[in-house]
């Protein structure tokens, strides 16, 4: 299915500070401009989630990491090349992102996506996009579109049409911390 129209609609919404419900490389997610504090606040509100709980940021290319992380350890890219499951990395020294997206310790969770829709959207937007499971905080993450709560669907500014009928169950990404010594701590 062609997703060009969905990408165009998402771009309009993201550029205006709005929120989207979209398919990611894992499960359906809520998204917004990761550099827009007001948009990020809306995501927390839609999820009914405390702002102290971090959200994930999606990027399309490795080279984008250096725009949003001060002095990343480049060895992490070798590690990611050898992972099969989508993997979110918690990096120290977040920069250039909305303040309410950055954890109290200055870290940020970033996933480089391989999914064609997400990569296309992020590249065209030219900024990182927030990604958090499309559920009310504390409820199960929806494995596909039909499992997304109607309250979530109605709260966002745009719902992507692409992959709505895909009932292949998906899992959230694994989450790791990349340690200073090049070792990995698995959180999920």
Q: Which of residues 171 and 39 earns the better pLDDT score?
A: 39
Residue 139: the pLDDT is 94
Class of domain 4-186: alpha beta
Tokens of 81: 């090349």
**In the predicted structure, residue 1 carries a pLDDT above the cut 70:** no
Confidence of residue 128 (pLDDT cuts 50, 70, 90): very high
pLDDT digits over 56-107, tens only?
999 999 999 999 999 999 999 999 999 989 999 999 999 999 999 999 999 9
**What average pLDDT does the segment 117-123 reach?**
97
Give ∠ CA 124-107-34 in degrees, rounded to 5: 25
pLDDT digits over 142-185, tens only?
989 999 999 999 999 999 999 999 998 888 899 999 998 989 99
**In the predicted structure, residue 2 carries a pLDDT above the cut 80:** no
**What average pLDDT does the segment 128-152 reach?**
95
Write the CB contacts of 17 (distance below 8 Å, at least 6 apart in sequence): 32, 33, 36, 38, 39
DSSP-assigned letters across all residues of 97-166 = S-GGGS-TTS-EEEEE---HHHHHHHHHHTS-EEEEESS-TTSPPPSSGGGS-HHHHHHSSEE--TTTT-
């Amino acid at each position: 299915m062609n997703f060009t129209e969905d990408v165009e609609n998402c771009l309009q919404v993201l550029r205006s500070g709005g929120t989207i419900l979209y398919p990611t490389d894992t499960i359906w997610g809520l998204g917004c401009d990761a550099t827009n504090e007001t948009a990020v606040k809306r995501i927390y509100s839609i999820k009914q989630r405390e702002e102290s709980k971090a959200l994930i940021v999606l990027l399309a290319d490795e080279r984008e990491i250096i725009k949003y992380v001060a002095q990343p350890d480049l060895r992490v890219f070798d590690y990611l090349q050898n992972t099969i499951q989508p993997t979110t990395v918690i990096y120290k020294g977040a920069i250039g992102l909305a303040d309410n997206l950055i954890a109290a310790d200055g870290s940020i969770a970033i996933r480089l996506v391989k999914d064609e829709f997400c990569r296309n959207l992020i590249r065209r937007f030219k900024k990182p996009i927030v990604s958090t499971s499309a559920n009310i905080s504390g409820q199960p993450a929806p494995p596909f579109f039909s499992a997304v709560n109607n309250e979530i669907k109605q709260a966002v500014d745009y719902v992507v049409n692409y992959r709505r009928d895909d009932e292949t169950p998906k899992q959230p990404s694994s989450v790791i911390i990349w340690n200073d010594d090049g070792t990995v701590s698995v959180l999920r």
